[in-house]
């Protein structure tokens, strides 16, 4: 840090105010270098942050933060913002245990007015804050920064529609880098490209008058050309104008002089209503390896700054994501009705591999999980076999569609639920904690969880033939445990679990990827003379009633284990035991679930220890239940 001429002196945005424009440009380059250095040591989101360095400097220079509010959509591009807002000394703790979050987080800093990690929320949140200011007669500014991928989501349109009608002043900055995680899809991409290629620098003559005085001479010709274009243009020709926004742009998001001028005039504007500033940036800007990468180094592991080479996993086992993709490809080679769907996460879900093989049968619908689910439902009505591959945490955004459009109609949509359970560095916003609960409660659903990569293959194989109702199979982030994979003809019987090991006294009823921890706990317990039965339940719905009945009548205790919140697998087992009068003084039942709290980011194994779902916790729970007596407590 001492090698930097200006960055070492900047701890908070107030420190920027003493710098001139030339010094700010040097600071921006230092900020970019520091971000590259930090992420090379921690891993994380790189490309998006590199693309908004100049914008970050300009925003904090022009606006009076934290009094004025800057809301970063998603928040994965906020690393430069964190460096400038009192967190410079902690930037190399990003995404580490007890370190900085990889996203914006209200509890972390007063400069983070709204926590984010899922996309397309910034305009809604910004409008809420701006409305609160209006009701309180406060003049604080509100700025929402949203990317071209995120603005394609339905929620962003809902917010813009409301904002334009409300006549409430707020500033929306559309960061158009033509490169979200994957290429932005849909009509919005074409629309932004049309604006840029048409050289519509400003859509109103009034806008030109507002900012032209701030432009240097080298922009006068461009401004004049834009004004000439406007004379022949149809009035109100932009989508944003139609939505009630005062549109400015597109402008070069890496030209600090222009950014400073435009932002200052937007701030000083007395315009009643929302203003949208459209900037063009380059994802990965300033780091050649990121600039040349297909995904512009969106998310990276630790890497060598000089070579750009990222650290590879030490595991030789394939990732669950790749196992899913390769298995689905094999089935699709034999079944032309199989189609793949993803919501802007082709590489994260493995659908890019499927798309390479079957380009006409893979559909990336953009950041639009609600649409993805109902789109899949429509395909299912016509006899196709849609596989909607969506992270557990993102499927939450489409729950009404899962209920109304899929479950009620009993349509055979197959949900491939990636990132099930705790996910490590991305923290609670990306944890797959709730899907077991929110799916298992629905009639007409089959809910499976893979305990290892071989089981995942069997579940995919089984799902291909489920043609009368929806089904879901969940699997964790990361690599498998190194098992040989079965062929695609090997299926499992719906609603039937499997006994891994016969034992006595206590039965461990596992659902999901904690099976290996159960086996480790069993190994330790056997040394103490305790030999539990271990069962891989496979299904949360339908439950294997016969197997659970046998466990209940042949053991003193049953412990269910799952990587999910209350209301899931264990709750359904408990309900079955109660309904059949199996819970009496002769049987003890306990469910081990994720605790009723959000667990901060850390390495997954540490998060599961905090959650009480590691081998040691399982062992201790069994010892506790075997040594306990049934006590009925009276509640006063």
Active-site residue set: 283, 369, 397
Contact 514, 561 (CB under 8 A): yes
How many angstroms separate the CA atoms of 314 and 346, rounded? Answer: 24
Task: Judge if the upstream peptide bond of residue 303 is cis by omega within 30 degrees of 0.
Answer: no
Bridge partners of residue 71, in order along the sequence: 144
CB under 8 Å to 382, separation ≥6 — which residues?
none
Structure token digits, residue 153: 């989501």
How many angstroms separate the CA atoms of 177 and 253, rounded? Answer: 9
What are the CB-based long-range contacts (under 8 Å, 24+) for 211-217?
A: 211/248, 211/261, 211/262, 211/265, 214/261, 214/262, 214/264, 214/265, 215/258, 215/261, 216/257
Closest listed residue to residue 509, CA positions, set 480, 483, 477, 545: 545
How many angstroms separate the CA atoms of 423 and 117, rounded? Answer: 14
Task: Judge if the upstream peptide bond of residue 221 is cis by omega within 30 degrees of 0.
Answer: no
> Judging by DSSP bridges, how do beta strands 246-252 and 275-280 pair with one another?
parallel
- Burial state string for 191-203 with b = 16 or more CB within 10 A and e = fewer than 16: ebeebbeeebbbb
CA distances from 186 to 11, 73, 152, 308, 494 (A): 41, 20, 8, 32, 38
- Structural element, H or E, at residue 348: helix 346-349
DSSP string, 466-506: --SS-EEEE--SSB---PPPPPTT----TT--EEEE--SSE
Structure token digits, residue 537: 């339940």
User: Coil, helix or strand for 190?
Assistant: helix
Closest listed residue to residue 65, CA positions, set 42, 48, 52, 81: 81
How many angstroms separate the CA atoms of 149 and 129, rounded? Answer: 23
Bridge partners of residue 247, in order along the sequence: 276
CB under 8 Å to 36, separation ≥6 — which residues?
46, 50, 286, 287, 305
Task: Judge if the upstream peptide bond of residue 628 is cis by omega within 30 degrees of 0.
Answer: no
Strands across the sheet containing 414-418: 362-364, 338-342, 385-391, 414-418, 471-474, 446-449, 539-541
> Judging by DSSP bridges, how do beta strands 69-72 and 142-147 pair with one another?
parallel
> Judging by DSSP bridges, how do beta strands 533-536 and 498-501 pair with one another?
antiparallel
The residue to which tokens 């004049």 are assigned: 224
Structure token digits, residue 134: 């209006």
Task: Report CA 445 to chain centroid distance, whole Å.
Answer: 24
């Amino acid at each position: 840090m001492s090698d930097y001429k200006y960055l070492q002196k900047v701890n908070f945005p107030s420190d920027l105010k003493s710098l001139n424009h030339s010094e700010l440009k040097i600071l921006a380059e230092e900020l970019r270098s520091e971000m590259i250095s930090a992420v090379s040591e921690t891993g994380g989101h790189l490309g998006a942050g590199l693309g908004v360095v100049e914008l970050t400097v300009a925003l904090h220079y022009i606006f009076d933060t934290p009094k004025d509010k800057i809301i970063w959509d998603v928040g994965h591009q906020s690393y430069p913002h964190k460096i400038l807002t009192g967190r410079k000394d902690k930037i190399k703790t990003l995404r580490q245990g007890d370190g900085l979050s990889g996203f914006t987080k209200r509890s972390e800093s007063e400069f983070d007015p709204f926590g984010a990690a899922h996309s397309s929320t910034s305009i809604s949140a910004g409008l809420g804050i701006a409305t609160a200011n209006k009701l309180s007669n406060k003049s604080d500014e509100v700025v929402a920064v949203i990317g071209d991928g995120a603005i394609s989501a339905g929620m962003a349109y809902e917010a813009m529609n409301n904002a334009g009608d409300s006549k409430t002043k707020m500033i929306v900055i559309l960061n158009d880098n033509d490169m979200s995680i994957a290429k932005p899809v849909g009509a919005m991409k074409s629309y932004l490209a049309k604006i840029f290629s048409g050289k519509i620098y400003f859509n109103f003559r009034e806008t030109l008058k507002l900012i032209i005085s701030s432009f240097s001479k080298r922009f006068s010709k461009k401004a004049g050309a834009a004004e000439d274009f406007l004379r022949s243009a149809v009035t109100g020709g932009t989508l944003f104008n139609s939505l009630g926004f005062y549109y400015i742009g597109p402008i070069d998001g890496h030209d600090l002089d222009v950014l400073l001028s435009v932002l200052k005039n937007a701030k000083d504007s007395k315009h009643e209503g929302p203003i949208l500033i459209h900037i063009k940036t380059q994802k990965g800007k300033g780091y050649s390896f990121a600039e040349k990468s297909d995904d512009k180094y969106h998310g990276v592991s630790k890497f060598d700054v000089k070579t750009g080479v990222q650290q590879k996993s030490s595991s030789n086992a394939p990732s669950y994501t790749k196992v899913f993709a390769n298995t689905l490809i094999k089935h699709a080679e034999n079944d032309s009705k199989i189609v793949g769907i993803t919501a802007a996460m082709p590489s994260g879900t493995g659908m890019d591999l499927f798309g390479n093989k079957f380009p006409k049968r893979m559909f990336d619908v953009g950041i639009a999980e609600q649409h993805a689910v109902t789109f899949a439902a429509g395909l299912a009505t016509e006899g196709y076999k849609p596989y909607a591959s969506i992270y557990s945490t993102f499927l939450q955004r489409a729950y009404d569609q899962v209920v109304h459009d899929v479950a009620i109609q009993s349509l055979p949509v197959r949900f491939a639920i990636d990132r099930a359970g705790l996910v490590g560095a991305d923290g609670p916003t990306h944890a797959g904690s709730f899907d077991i609960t929110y799916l298992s409660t629905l009639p007409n659903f089959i809910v499976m969880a893979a305990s290892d990569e071989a089981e995942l293959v069997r579940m995919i194989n089984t799902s291909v033939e489920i043609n009368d109702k929806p089904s879901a199979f969940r699997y964790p982030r990361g690599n498998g445990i190194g098992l040989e994979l079965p062929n695609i003809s090997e299926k499992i019987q719906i609603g039937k679990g499997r006994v891994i090991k016969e034992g006595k006294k206590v039965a461990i009823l596992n659902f999901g990827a904690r099976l290996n921890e159960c086996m480790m706990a069993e190994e330790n317990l056997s040394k103490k003379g305790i030999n539990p039965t271990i069962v891989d339940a496979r299904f949360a719905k339908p439950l294997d009633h016969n197997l659970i009945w046998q466990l209940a009548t042949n053991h003193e205790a049953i412990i269910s284990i799952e990587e999910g919140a209350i209301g899931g697998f264990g709750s359904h087992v408990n309900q079955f035991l109660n309904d059949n009068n199996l819970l009496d003084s002769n049987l003890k039942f306990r469910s081990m679930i994720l605790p009723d709290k959000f667990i901060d980011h850390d390495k997954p194994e540490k998060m599961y220890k905090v959650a009480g779902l590691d081998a040691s916790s399982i062992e201790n729970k069994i010892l506790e239940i075997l040594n306990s007596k049934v006590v009925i407590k009276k509640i006063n």
